[in-house]
Structure 1
Amino acid sequence: MNIDVICVGKVKERYLRDGIAEYAKRLGRYCKLNILEVADEKTPDHASEGMERQIKAKEGERIARHIKPGAFVIALAIDSQQLDSVGFARKISQLGLQGASHLQFIIGGSIGLDDAILRRANYRLSFSNMTFPHQLMRVILLEQIYRAYKINAHEPYHK
């Protein structure tokens, strides 16, 4: 399985980069992982709703350039479907059984994803009703993908 994580912005904190690298290494035995970063737009404090729409649209255009035809696109969005780890593992397994060989997860910037990207997504996934920094979300997503592969392979993984 090919998995792309398309995300907005660069990760600046070393501890987050280390976490991403660790899970990318662990995932190497289960899938081909590719992390694609697109430039983020500076969002001024107290940006108007219209300005936020413009920012998300610009970031959305950059994201859209990386979406591959035939890939199954999963957008991470707070107001979407929530799954537990077993349900997430089951979802990945079912997609593979249905012939999906390329998954693309999309993580938006600090103000979320453009509506066009949300409409393009085949599935919308929420990890929580809480808000997480988008850089930290990369580590959380990769850990859950790794956990899903361990669950699907019936291999032990600490709880």
Structure 2
Amino acid sequence: MMNINVVAVGKIRERYIRDAIDEYVKRLRPYCRLNIIEVAEQQAPQELSKADVESVKIKEGRAILEHIKSNEYIIALAIEGAMMSSERLAGYILDLMISGHSSITFIIGGSLGLSSEVLARADMLLSFSPMTFPHQLMRLILLEQVYRCFKINSGEPYHK
């Protein structure tokens, strides 16, 4: 069974988002072993210099990298990443499974994005849209798409 890890910066504060995430965690159980790891979001003043932004990203990035093992295939969510349809992402994940990757880790950065160190460690950069989404909501969107990928790859119906 495939291992899917999600390493995400910050906690989910809104109950309605937590409830929706819990629903997708439950739906994913038959398809994979899902592990969600939250790393602390760095506190920063409202007005940040470029150096402050980089410092926050570096600290969050180090915390993320502590949870990554060498045998994991890393997909970092980044606005500059590749965009693909749900069907194409499902095929990509299926190809990873067929080629022997048993553990895929998705990384969701904080509100300032991911450090260059995390981006460099990623095997793939994935973008869901050129728009910016709150990182808490992105976790829900990611889990829905991972679930959709497993449904597609299993030949099971799923609403379009």
Give yes or no for the alignment of 1:30 onto 2:28. Answer: no
CA shift, 1:117, in A, is: 0.2
What does residue 7 of structure 2 align with?
6
CA shift, 1:42, in A, is: 1.4
- For each residue in 1:37-94, what CA deviation from the matched residue of structure 2 results, as whole angstroms up to 9, or x when unmatched? 0001013222111100000000011001000111000000001100110011001000
TM-score scaled by structure 2?
Answer: 0.98
What does residue 65 of structure 2 align with?
64
Query: Structure 1 CA distance, aligned partners of 2:92 and 2:18?
Result: 27
What does residue 44 of structure 1 align with?
45
Letter paired with 1:104: T
Q: Which runs of 4+ in 1 moved over 6 A?
A: none
What does residue 86 of structure 1 align with?
87
Tell me, which stretches of 5 or more residues in structure 2 are unaligned? none
What does residue 110 of structure 1 align with?
111
More off after superposition, 43-52 vs 127-136: 43-52
TM-score scaled by structure 1?
Answer: 0.99
Equivalent position SS for 1:80: strand
Letter paired with 2:145: Q
Tell me, which stretches of 5 or more residues in structure 1 are unaligned? none
Query: Structure 2 CA distance, aligned partners of 1:118 and 1:52?
Result: 16
Query: Structure 1 CA distance, aligned partners of 2:81 and 2:133?
Result: 15
What does residue 76 of structure 2 align with?
75
- For each residue in 1:108-152, what CA deviation from the matched residue of structure 2 results, as whole angstroms up to 9, or x when unmatched? 000000000000000100000000000000000000000000001
Equivalent position SS for 2:51: helix
Letter paired with 1:37: E
What does residue 138 of structure 1 align with?
139
Paired residues in the alignment total 159
Query: Structure 1 CA distance, aligned partners of 2:26 and 2:59?
Result: 31
How many percent of aligned residue pairs carry the same amino acid? 54
What does residue 54 of structure 2 align with?
53
Equivalent position SS for 1:124: strand
CA RMSD of aligned residues (A): 0.6
Query: Structure 2 CA distance, aligned partners of 1:65 and 1:79?
Result: 24
What does residue 101 of structure 1 align with?
102
